[in-house]
Amino acid sequence: MMSLLVRPHGPTADGVVTEVTPESAGWTYVGFRVLKLAAGQSYSGAEARREACLVILSGTVSIEAGGEVYANLGERRDVFDGPATSVYLPAEAPYAITAERDAEIAVCTAPGTGAGAVRVLRSDAVEVRGQGTNTRHVRNILSDADDIAESLLVVEVITPGGNWSSYPPHKHDRDAVPEETLLEETYYHRLSPPQGFAFQRVYTDARDLDETMAVQDGDVVLVPRGYHPVGAPHGYDLYYLNVMAGPVRKWVFHNDPAHDWIVRR
């Protein structure tokens, strides 16, 4: 079985350090790429039949798209330093990213027809979910409450050290609206301090898929199906960027019945 853990590599000539395609993941919808650009370096592309969300993880960039130049986007030192600035691109739209200072950018993609328009997005609002050691802080970039994208759902989550996230374990792998939606998902993990680690388990009811991974700074975990809880050890805050997409742009999940009591007590 293909590993669900994707580790970063040294940057290619155009700055790519991580690449997940539907072909490499063995699925249909989600694509994910991370770029590391030195100041003055540029990256250009156009996602064929796929919409994109460019999430500025850190640094400052200018983005040319839709006949406009959006200058000086992004101000974070790292992913733990406040809200992200992002840019939504409809399918087929050519774009060019130029780093004004050293920058990291996530390119999140999913099927699209080209409907919609280029939009600059700012995820200022923070939602606190859970309580006690199940507390995490959520910033939606593209949610199912908006009509910006055709397929993409994109969200950032920070889980304080010692806490659990995506917990109780939940899944979204059945195309059974309104009870549950089928959404492929990637988790892009960062840690503070960066030498830390976290754990993620991906498993199904039948345990025909049951993989537990120690994730390091910069790793990606693929969630093709099943439940997928995450734990952050004491002393290491965990950030992850989720990208989801499926046949219906709606996040409707199902908790593992064995652990659902945790939120119902």
How many CB atoms are located within 10 Å of the residue 196 CB? Answer: 20
Give, for 22, the enclosing helix (H) or strand (E): helix 22-25
Indicate the pLDDT class of residue 73, thresholds 50, 70 and 90.
very high
Q: According to the model, what pLDDT value does residue 52 have?
A: 98
Q: According to the model, what pLDDT value does residue 264 have?
A: 83
Q: According to the model, what pLDDT value does residue 36 have?
A: 98
How many CB atoms are located within 10 Å of the residue 143 CB? Answer: 17
pLDDT tens by residue, 97-137: 999 999 999 999 999 999 999 999 999 999 999 999 999 99
pLDDT tens by residue, 137-193: 999 999 999 999 999 999 999 999 999 999 999 999 999 999 999 999 999 999 999
How many CB atoms are located within 10 Å of the residue 130 CB? Answer: 18
261's tokens: 């009591």
Domains in the chain, ordered, with CATH? 5-263 (2.60.120.10)
Which carries the bigger pLDDT value, residue 40 or residue 2? 40
Answer whether residue 1 shows pLDDT above 60: no
Q: What is the model's pTM? A: 0.97
Q: According to the model, what pLDDT value does residue 183 have?
A: 98
Pairing status of strand 220-223 against strand 184-192: antiparallel
- In sequence order, the 6+-apart residues with CB closer than 8 A to the CB of 24 are none
pLDDT tens by residue, 219-263: 999 999 999 999 999 999 999 999 999 999 999 999 999 999 999
How many CB atoms are located within 10 Å of the residue 190 CB? Answer: 25
What is d(CA 201, CA 191) in angstroms, rounded to the nearest whole number?
17
Answer whether residue 265 shows pLDDT above 90: no
